[in-house]
Amino acid sequence: MTNLSPTLELAVDLIQRPSVTPHDAGCQDVLAQRLECLDFSVTRLPFGEVENFWARRGSQGPLLVFAGHTDVVPTGPETHWEAPPFGGLVKDGVLHGRGAADMKSSLAAFMTACERFVEKHQNHSGSIGWLITSDEEGHAVNGTVKVVEYLESIGEKIDWCIVGEPSSTHTVGDVVKNGRRGSLGANLKIKGIQGHVAYPHLADNPIHKAVPALTALAAEHWDEGNEFFPATSFQISNINGGTGATNVIPGELDIMFNFRFSTELTYQQLQARTRQILQHHHLDFDLEWRLFGQPFLTSRGPLVEAAQLAIKQVRNIDTQLSTSGGTSDGRYIAPTGAQVLELGPCNATIHRVNEQVLVSEVEHLTHIYETMLERLLL
């Protein structure tokens, strides 16, 4: 491959490093070295086996941060791929490889946007930061959340944050995520009494007892949503009960479910209403909760406006604000008071075999980031 643009060349280099979560495979070394050449101060922040770093150029506010991750999900059988997943093949205007969309192209676009901006504006106002982890695709316990805790402890306050997650749907810039729904998971155990199916009066079938309660939970109208969020949804994701024998009434039923919730409700309200429904059906149960992320929203303001104007200038399209999709590391950054946006390439092939992005998307993306830097820090 010859005659690659600086952005594409860096994206290929990053894709060729097999950084399956939580491993970084040297990606952060490449990024940190280039940032140091731009007079960024780089602080390595490893936690456990996870590599992270924080970098900053400038000492004054406002602080605009580029946030992202170097880790990728596993490839699955490589024989199912049309091109080697860590080959970084560029062919017929398409960049192929694991991480091409999620999110090594964004990292490359961050970098070249910063390099061009700093070269032209050595004495820009405010500061530029980078927050990078290798633990976004995994358990996400030693990554961004720990870096944010570190930044809070030293008094670093992020004003604006661009997360490079693949936000676009049909063409780069058509959708920007200005928030995400909260995610609340639960493990529910319904208790009964095991017995023989021929003697049901001597047993207590937890499956039969659970069905009306689960139906009520699925039918419950939790809220109306609002301008930016759809109504809260409840989804059962797993049910497991029984011994495998047709003639045994099980003694327990295990259920997993998840709420994706808006800013109209708190997770405590969801927990309380769920418990009330279960108690109304006179169930004997244990319930364990896990809060994966709070909902967050960046309403219209300087960051949203900068993104919309930059996309209009570079792509000549009007962008749509959205809070759809799953969670992202923005959920750890937004509670600090930062305005957070997710802006990246198209997400059609993320986590799939033959992940890919158009080369033109990558080039558009770096110019969008550069234009946002100019609008916010000049």
Q: Which residues are catalytic?
A: 71, 136
Separation between Cα atoms, residue 363 and residue 29, nearest integer Å: 23
User: Taking Cα atoms as reference points, which of 293, 308, 357, 332 lies closest to residue 103?
Assistant: 357
| 343-355: burial string, b at 16+ Cβ within 10 Å, e else | bbbbbebbeeeeb
Q: 111 with 34: CB under 8 angstroms?
A: yes
Listed in sequence order, the residues at least 6 apart from 184 whose beta carbon sits closer than 8 Å to its beta carbon are 258, 259, 261, 267, 270, 271, 289, 290, 291, 292
Roughly what angle, to the nearest 10 degrees, separates helices 302-315 and 359-377?
130
233 backbone φψ class: left, alpha, beta (φ>0; ψ -120 to 50): beta
Dig out the tokens for 150 from the structure.
């570190």
